[in-house]
Amino acid sequence: KAGVTQTPRYLIKTRGQQVTLSCSPISGHRSVSWYQQTPGQGLQFLFEYFSETQRNKGNFPGRFSGRQFSNSRSEMNVSTLELGDSALYLCASSAMAGRSSYEQYFGPGTRLTVT
């Protein structure tokens, strides 16, 4: 079955702009998580959605938001972009939520560059 897809794969934005990234999970998966990776940092958890509800949120400012649709597709939005938001953004889908023992499947990521 098809894997996790993310669009766009690459994006260049200017400081102050906003951006929306999209993630389509594996068919049947209802949990979508988002991560940010910056140089020298491990993957940092942004948030997790399950059945259109945000279940967990990482330690990021309110400029980072997300949502999940009824078909489990998820979008992540970053408003008022800063240079430090330049990163690889990964999403991961999982069949279930509620416990961290379910395998996560990652998408290829969106590389965001803020100039």
Partner 1 sequence: ILNVEQSPQSLHVQEGDSTNFTCSFPSSNFYALHWYRWETAKSPEALFVMTLNGDEKKKGRISATLNTKEGYSYLYIKGSQPEDSATYLCASGGVTGNQFYFGTGTSLTVIP
Positions touching partner 1 (CB under 8 A) are 3-4, 31, 33, 35, 40-45, 48, 50, 55-56, 58-59, 90, 92, 94, 97-109
- Cα dihedral 75, 79, 84, 87, rounded to 10, equals 20
Shortest Å, Cβ 12 to partner 1: 19
CB of 28 to partner 1, least distance (A): 16
CB-nearer residue toward partner 1: 66 or 109 = 109
Q: Tell me the closest approach of the beta carbon of residue 15 to partner 1, in angstroms.
A: 27
Residue in 38, 34, 12 with CA at minimum distance from that of residue 23: 34
